[in-house]
Amino acid sequence: MGRIRAAWLWLIKHTLNRLTLRLAGSGRGPFSIVRHVGRRSGRVFETPIMVAPVPGGFVAELTYGPRVNWYRNVVAAGGCELVVHGETHRIVAVEPFPTATGRRAFGFPAQLVLTLLHREDFRLMREAEEGALG
């Protein structure tokens, strides 16, 4: 990973992520929390992400690509917990999701922004059959 990209991700993690994590924890706003286990450390981490509900779970747009730690941890563990508007959902699989369908899932104006930014990397976060945990 390039130095500039690494520096950018560090900055996001230590500034913007802290603010959006608070907002996501309040159950208000566009952010959700992905609770995942570190693939090397075994520690539990919480990362703010934006998701949209779709049949079978939620769709996430991989803003920083598939090499970000939260995504790699979820794939390695085979799942995670996703807190959406204060409700915890058990995610049991992560699968590629069609770009056009992923963009549409976010609705307007997010769909327009995703299109203008040429975002194409979407994943279905497949929810366990029983749905919300609490």
Going from the N-terminus, what domains does the chain have, and what CATH number goes with each? 3-132 (2.30.110.10)
The candidate with the shortest Cα–Cα distance to 127, out of 86, 88, 72, is: 88
Q: What is the pLDDT of residue 43?
A: 96
Report the run of H or E that residue 114 belongs to, with start and end. helix 110-116
pLDDT at res. 18: 62
Secondary structure E strands in the chain: 32-37, 44-49, 51-54, 57-61, 80-84, 87-97, 122-132
In this predicted structure, the answer to whether residue 25 has a pLDDT above a threshold of 90 is: no
Q: Rounded to 10 degrees, what is the CA torsion of 124, 127, 131, 134?
A: -90
pTM attached to this predicted model: 0.80
Question: Cα–Cα–Cα angle for 108, 72, 30, nearest 5°?
Answer: 25
What is the SS3 assignment for 94?
strand
Residue 129 has pLDDT above 90, yes or no: no
CA dist., res. 13 & res. 15, Å (int): 6
